[in-house]
Amino acid sequence: MSRHILNRREWGKIVLGSLASALIPFDATADVVKIGPIDSRFRGVLLGVQSYSFRDLNLDDARQAMREIGIGSCELWAGHLEPRELRDDTDARAREELRRWRLRAPLSLFYGVRERFDRAGITINAYNYTMRDDFTDEEIEVGFRQARALGTRILTSSSNVSTAQRIDRVARRYRMYVGLHNHSRISPNEIATPESFQRAMRGTSNIRINLDVGHFVAAGFDPVAFIRRNHARIVTLHIKDRKRDQGPPVPFGTGDTPLRAILRLLRDNGYKIPANIEYEYAGADTRLEVKRCFEYCKRILLS
């Protein structure tokens, strides 16, 4: 995005363009006929996808790709709904304009997305909405209203330890749960270590864990042991493969993340935790790579 300050007309075009892309009448799409639910539960484990995996596709194309692959469960990334032009974290003006968009976006946008996923036979198991220290209370709360309109009681969030108490107050009021997402950056206020998860959850009732098993390994921790100890507070997993010692994301089965052990742990212990594939490594074609990830995990669960 260019760094000039948007005038009112430019900002209005961005908002209207975003809404138009999400509110296309249903009879103008391929989803005229409602299909039955897609079953991507294998041996009791719900295998889904984080829609960020399809970040190079618009939401309709991402949803169509899920259908073609056979994925019936989705953790919906807010970036698929928000204006791409405003997602420049380095631009303070864009950040304020994104805040304005979030507070003004009509909930009909989110109800419409929910209906499209319902018609496609895909369940939205969680809504991935970032809530960090620079978020106002109003900006935090609007994420819960959006999630409710999308039909889920679970949010996942890249957040800070220091933001957890504010998030929890809203989560309790809405009777919803928020799984904090870990990265591999080890810093006192970032969610990255077992200890940082514990500090963030301390004194809260509705803060949970969204464990990214690849990032956890890259940061030097054991996801299998962590899941065993904390499965009751984990609302979703992000399934990816990374190398140890801050290594890169790699094709499934070629890194140091014990994906086979993790998926069998869920299966053999009956843990009701959605396992959402998050494709991040450099591949050729997004649809093809997500399908490879999906088939890899499916084979493990069925073996």
Which 8-state DSSP code applies to residue 60?
H
* pLDDT tens per residue, range 236-286: 999 999 999 999 999 999 999 999 999 999 999 999 999 999 999 999 899
**Quick count: other Cβ atoms within 10 Å of Cβ 95?**
15
Could you identify the residue written with the tokens 């991935």? 128
Residue 12 domain-assigned (yes or no): no
Residue 50 domain-assigned (yes or no): yes
- As a whole number of angstroms, the distance between CA 303 and CA 243 comes to 25
- As a whole number of angstroms, the distance between CA 179 and CA 128 comes to 9
- As a whole number of angstroms, the distance between CA 246 and CA 176 comes to 33
Question: How many distinct structural domains can be found in the chain?
Answer: 1
Q: Is 56 helix (H, G, I), strand (E, B) or coil?
A: coil
Which 8-state DSSP code applies to residue 4?
S
Residue 241's domain is classified under what CATH number? 3.20.20.150
Residue 34 domain-assigned (yes or no): no
> Global pTM?
0.91
- As a whole number of angstroms, the distance between CA 249 and CA 215 comes to 9
pLDDT value of residue 33: 63
Of 201, 95, 107, 117, the C-alpha closest to 147 is 107
Residue 184 domain-assigned (yes or no): yes
Residue 29 domain-assigned (yes or no): no
Residue 252 domain-assigned (yes or no): yes
pLDDT value of residue 19: 54
Residue 18 domain-assigned (yes or no): no
Domain coverage including residue 129: 42-302
pLDDT value of residue 89: 75
Residue 249 domain-assigned (yes or no): yes
Q: What is the pLDDT along the chain (303 residues), one digit of tens a residue?
A: 334 445 555 545 555 555 545 444 333 344 446 779 999 999 999 999 999 999 999 999 999 999 999 999 999 999 999 999 998 878 899 999 999 999 999 999 999 999 999 999 999 999 999 999 999 999 999 999 999 999 999 999 999 999 999 999 999 999 999 999 999 999 999 999 999 999 999 999 999 999 999 999 999 999 999 999 999 999 999 999 999 999 999 999 999 999 999 999 999 999 999 999 999 999 989 999 999 999 999 999 999
pLDDT value of residue 223: 99
* CB < 8 Å & 24+ apart, contacts of 280-284: 280/53, 280/214, 280/240, 280/249, 281/240, 281/241, 281/248, 281/249, 281/250, 281/251, 283/251
